[in-house]
A = this chain, B = another copy of it.
Amino acid sequence: MEEGARKSFSLAELAGQFGGTVIGDAGVRIRQVAPLETAGPEELSFLTNRKYQKQLATTRAAAVLLSADSADATQLPRIVCKNPYASYARIAALINPEVRPVAGIHATAVVDAQASVAASASVGPCAVIEKGAQIGEGAVIGANCFVGRGTRIGAHSRLHPNATVYHDCIVGERVILHSGVVIGADGFGMAMDDGRWLKIPQIGRVVIGDDVEVGASTTIDRGALDDTIIEDGVKLDNQIQIGHNCHIGAHTAIAGCTGIAGSVRIGKHCMLGGNAMISGHLTIADRVVVSGGTLVAKSITEPGTYTAVFPMQPHAQWLKNAALIRHLDEMMERVRHLEGEVKKLKGK
């Protein structure tokens, strides 16, 4: 937390830098951001959901960020702005700047003589960078990371400790790879040959655009022949699996534990809920929302929200309904039969 290092900012300064109108004492000083419920003096809170509006009455926050339609919901000093959540994100980043290691290659790092590391980049202890790899300006390669031969890491990108990028991949600028991430492992490609699986060489790459964030232990496989592509601004949560030759459109966000099989093409500005699953070779249109836990087994051509989740019940009730599901076709048959009988009766 490094409390000592944190500066304070007046509401006037914050509104000046990030936009919005101050109502109340513009000289109030802010040292941290916090939720309405737990904020204290010198802390700035925010209202982004009407549901929490009544917390405004009891919050001990020094000031609040809110939108015009809630501007009168409190008497606290406040910044009224268009997008309070985005303003909160920016102010939180100002107050809590990322700690980045100093430039230079740690004495225990192993950097091939034919790799190129920008002078402003940082390579941590026991990191390994192979021949022909390129590390851009201001990039950070964390402790125990691996960057394979010929791979390029763009300027200001950051690999957290124990991240792995195989050979010949491209990682854009300002990309964040969290610990445990594996980029460029072989895709799951094999041919059946007389009862044995024959490995198919995976000779494509992974190409990641700018401003992408990849959560802890997420894996993105290299392409079989063509590349696996992650466009600009894609945000991936933890423990996601992306198969070979997928193409994820710009600014799509995918929540944790989701699995995407091979050769899937997902559009731009999509949102996939946690633990979703996309079968292979499908296409998902732009601006599609897939609910958490949903298995997508055919392509989605229209924007909208799609769901496939069995509704939860107490176990005893579930047992009864699950048994009926196995025999829905029989239930349907009985309904059809009844319809016939009723028709006959009416004809009498």
A residues whose Cβ falls under 8 Å from a Cβ of B: 1-2, 33-35, 38, 83, 85-86, 88-90, 92-93, 96, 98-99, 106, 108, 110, 124-126, 128, 142-144, 146, 148-150, 160-162, 164, 166-168, 176, 178-180, 182, 185-186, 188, 190-193, 195-201, 203, 211, 213, 215-217, 219, 221, 225-226, 233, 235, 237-239, 241, 243, 251, 253, 255-257, 259, 261, 269, 274-275, 277, 279, 291-298, 304-315, 317-329, 331-332, 334-335, 338-339, 341-342, 345-346
Q: How far is the CB of A41 from chain B (nearest CB, A)?
A: 16
Known: A180-B217, A182-B178, A269-B195. Is A277-B274 also a contact (CB below 8 A)?
A: yes
The answer to whether A203 and B307 touch across the interface, beta carbons within 8 angstroms, is no
The answer to whether A309 and B321 touch across the interface, beta carbons within 8 angstroms, is no
Q: How far is the CB of A126 from chain B (nearest CB, A)?
A: 5
The answer to whether A96 and B203 touch across the interface, beta carbons within 8 angstroms, is yes
Q: Which chain B residues border A193 with CB–CB below 8 Å?
A: 83, 86, 89
Q: Could you say how many copies of this chain the assembly holds?
A: 3
Kindly report which residue of chain B lies nearest to residue A163, judged by CB atoms: B162
Kindly report which residue of chain B lies nearest to residue A279, judged by CB atoms: B292
For the complex, what is the distance from the CA of A186 to the CA of B186, rounded to whole Å? 27
Kindly report which residue of chain B lies nearest to residue A335, judged by CB atoms: B334
Name which of A149, A166, A309 has the most chain B CB atoms within 10 A of its CB.
A309
In the A-B complex, the 5 residue pairs with the smallest Cβ-Cβ separation, listed nearest first, are A308-B312, A257-B259, A146-B161, A293-B295, A185-B216
Enumerate 12 A-B pairs (CB-CB under 8 Å) in ascending A order.
Answer: A83-B191, A96-B201, A178-B185, A185-B238, A196-B251, A239-B241, A256-B259, A275-B295, A306-B315, A307-B315, A317-B329, A338-B339
Which single member of B235, B256, B309, B328 contacts A190 (CB below 8 Å)?
A: B235
The answer to whether A305 and B315 touch across the interface, beta carbons within 8 angstroms, is yes
Q: Which chain B residues border A334 with CB–CB below 8 Å?
A: 335, 339
Kindly report which residue of chain B lies nearest to residue A188, judged by CB atoms: B237
Q: How far is the CB of A183 from chain B (nearest CB, A)?
A: 9
Known: A295-B310, A315-B305, A326-B313. Is A182-B179 also a contact (CB below 8 A)?
A: yes
Q: Which chain B residues border A279 with CB–CB below 8 Å?
A: 274, 292
Q: Which chain B residues border A314 with CB–CB below 8 Å?
A: 304-307
For the complex, what is the distance from the CA of A168 to the CA of B5, rounded to whole Å? 15
Known: A259-B257, A307-B315, A317-B326. Is A162-B144 also a contact (CB below 8 A)?
A: yes
Kindly report which residue of chain B lies nearest to residue A34, judged by CB atoms: B225
Q: Which chain B residues border A253 with CB–CB below 8 Å?
A: 190, 197
Q: How far is the CB of A40 from chain B (nearest CB, A)?
A: 12
Q: How far is the CB of A234 from chain B (nearest CB, A)?
A: 9
Q: How far is the CB of A48 from chain B (nearest CB, A)?
A: 8
The answer to whether B85 and A179 touch across the interface, beta carbons within 8 angstroms, is no
Known: A99-B149, A275-B277. Is A188-B235 also a contact (CB below 8 A)?
A: yes
Q: How far is the CB of A125 from chain B (nearest CB, A)?
A: 4
Q: How far is the CB of A274 from chain B (nearest CB, A)?
A: 5
The answer to whether B200 and A88 touch across the interface, beta carbons within 8 angstroms, is yes
For the complex, what is the distance from the CA of A121 to the CA of B222, rounded to whole Å? 26
Which single member of B226, B274, B338 contacts A35 (CB below 8 Å)?
A: B226
